[in-house]
Amino acid sequence: MRNIFLLFCFSILSSLLFAQNNKAVLSGKLVDTSGKTPLAFATITIFKAKDTSIITYRLSDPDGNFKVTGLPLNVELRAVITSSGFSVYRKEFHFTSSQLNIDIGPIKMEPDIKTLDEILVFSERPPVSVKNDTIEFNASAFKTLPSALVEDLLKKLPGVDVDLDGNITVNNRKGY
């Protein structure tokens, strides 16, 4: 029984080692166009070229270096490298049993000329909005004096009436 157990453990261990030896490694370094500044935390995604299914992804380290391990042999692969503010870099490759490591060297990432420096968004809230059974008034849309009372604002709201005694009527319904 002990011999069978040892044989089983040995076969599992050898298959794991064999499986790890059949995996390939892609490595490289990402820099800007000057070649001096490394691109930290860029995303390196590896796809199967045939059906674009994702195999794995990694981030570059603070020095711009990356190493993607555990890639399959004899399969056409595509690396897609992205970093904010830079154009997408694509490269197709495949590993064979005689070529288990590919170093694609320093990659100079081109700036993305479509990136905008700044965008200003202006919005305007409507003066009156209805949500189900609730009417909301945007008080800043109705001009009053800085020293005005709430009653002065209420008198300006559409459908709201305030009588001389201070009673409020909304859409001809009393009791507010």
Per-residue model confidence as pLDDT tens digits over 46-57: 999 988 889 999
Q: Note the pLDDT tens digit of each residue in 17-45.
A: 444 456 899 999 999 988 889 999 999 99
Give how far Cα 169 sits from Cα of 10, 135, 157, 164, 165, Å: 88, 14, 11, 12, 12
Q: For the whole model, what pTM was predicted?
A: 0.55
- pLDDT beyond 70 at 13: no
CA-to-CA separations, 158 to 27, 81, 138, in angstroms, rounded:
68, 57, 12
Is residue 14's pLDDT more than 60?
A: no
Domains and CATH numbers, the chain: 20-108 (2.60.40.10), 128-174 (no CATH)
